[in-house]
Structure 1
Amino acid sequence: MSPIKVALVDDQTLFLKGLRLILEEYPEIDIVIEANNGQDFLTAVAKEEPHVVLLDLKMPGMDGIEVAEKLKTIAPEVKIILLTMHDDEHFIHHVLSLGANGYLLKNEEPAILREAIQKVMTQEYYLNDYVAKALLSNIKKKDTYSSDQAKDALFTLTPREKEILQLICEEHTTGEIAQQLFISKRTVEGHRQNLLDKTGVRNTAGLVIYALKNQLV
């Protein structure tokens, strides 16, 4: 199996070096980019596109949200895991809705970091307990996703699409969904793309948020 190419972006040098030391312990991870700011990272992506980026949210000049938005334009296949010290529920919902694949606090255990990297590669998103609780709490307090497209999607999702959405939310991979429903991986990907198009969200994490908000799971 090919190694997972990972980029590290953080303006705190000690944290960045510590992150590298932790991840170098895992043979399936290959660190291909190490940057202290968003611009250097975006420049490096043109030469060495990673599979996953661990991206600090709060950086001078260009913060993590701006970097993530630019990255989605130049390299949309790169999975984004945002790193921060903040666990505000509204903020978590906001950044995941923008297209991030995961959200981790900087004081997580190394094993959680490894798990997050592996899961965004296999199922495109990683939501741990506190993120899931924050999303549910924020959804209950306020209708944070109320576009006409999102509302219309409720009436246009087919039974099969709802079935696949349920399995996505249960953290099944494309291969597992295909096997369970006796369809091909390509068919699963087609349904996933239809779900993205109908709901107007950016990625699989957005689909999970959509499903939770509309009580589809």
Structure 2
Amino acid sequence: MIRVVLADDEAMVRAGVKAILLADPGIEVVAEAGDGHEAVELVREHRPDVAVVDIRMPGLDGFDTTEAIRRACEGTAVIMLTTFPENAYVTKALRAGANGFLLKSGDPRELLTGVRAVSEGAAYLSPKVAARVIDTLGSDRMARSGEAREQVDGLSPRERQVLALLGAGRSNQEIGRELHLVEGTVKSYVSAILGRLGVRNRVQAAIIAFEAGLVTRD
């Protein structure tokens, strides 16, 4: 069971996010906070696997809350939520120690996938956020796109299918359902893909999937 502390100052938003999380029988929301200070105290008390934190909160914003949570409980991964996909927010969130970054307007499945991913020690960016990161990486984008296509060309057709779905934010379970594979086989494919691409986590693999044109950006 993945134990989650949820922090958002808007009660209706908090209720919506909680409902999405509780739709997964493997996730339990152990506590809710309306501000950053309360979130940090609840993390200290409950020692959850994941804290889902809104960026804009009174008193202690999401960035400071994330830093405080990471100091208070190193074992708790943090996912930051925002309405606005500002590039500066992504950079600042990752520097603050966030393990994931999601848009409130995104597909609810992304939230569940992100919570599962960070609880297992991985990093996670929603596909739309990953696309924005790629778009601001610099003037050598075309060169990187060519390199990404070369990397992807070294994968088998099935591995490319798995990578495309991974880049689209699908969980291992969802990939398995779509490709008619058992979850253990998907995990083996993902591990092999990370090794072949020379990357450490799903975020880096997703960026390559975007750069190689395996995932659309709309």
- Contact kept in structure 1, 2:64 and 2:96, CA below 8 Å: no
Q: CA deviation at 1:93?
A: 2.4
* Cα distance in structure 1, aligned partners of 2:92 and 2:98: 10
- Contact kept in structure 2, 1:81 and 1:104, CA below 8 Å: yes
Q: Select the residue among 75, 78, 89 that pairs with 2:76.
A: 78
Task: Kindly provide the amino acid, as one letter, of the partner of residue 19 in structure 1.
Answer: V
Q: CA deviation at 1:74?
A: 1.2
Cα deviation code 1:6-64 (max 9, x no counterpart)? 11100001111222222222110011110101111111222211111110000111000
Q: Select the residue among 46, 49, 53 that pairs with 2:47.
A: 49
Give the aligned partner of residue 161 of structure 1: none
State the TM-score, normalizing by the size of structure 1: 0.63
Give the aligned partner of residue 144 of structure 2: none
Any unmatched runs of 5+ in structure 2?
141-162, 167-171, 173-186, 193-198, 209-218
* Cα distance in structure 2, aligned partners of 1:41 and 1:94: 19
Q: CA deviation at 1:84?
A: 0.6
Identity %: 27
Give the aligned partner of residue 24 of structure 1: 22
* Cα distance in structure 1, aligned partners of 2:8 and 2:139: 32
Task: Kindly provide the amino acid, as one letter, of the partner of residue 35 in structure 1.
Answer: A
Give the aligned partner of residue 139 of structure 1: 137
Across the two proteins, how many residue pairs are aligned to each other?
Answer: 161
* Cα distance in structure 2, aligned partners of 1:112 and 1:119: 10
Q: How does 1:178-217 map to 2 (within 5 A)?
A: 208=204
* Cα distance in structure 2, aligned partners of 1:85 and 1:96: 17
Q: Select the residue among 89, 97, 108 that pairs with 1:99.
A: 97
Any unmatched runs of 5+ in structure 1?
143-169, 181-191, 196-203, 213-217
State the TM-score, normalizing by the size of structure 2: 0.63
Cα RMSD over matched residues? 3.3
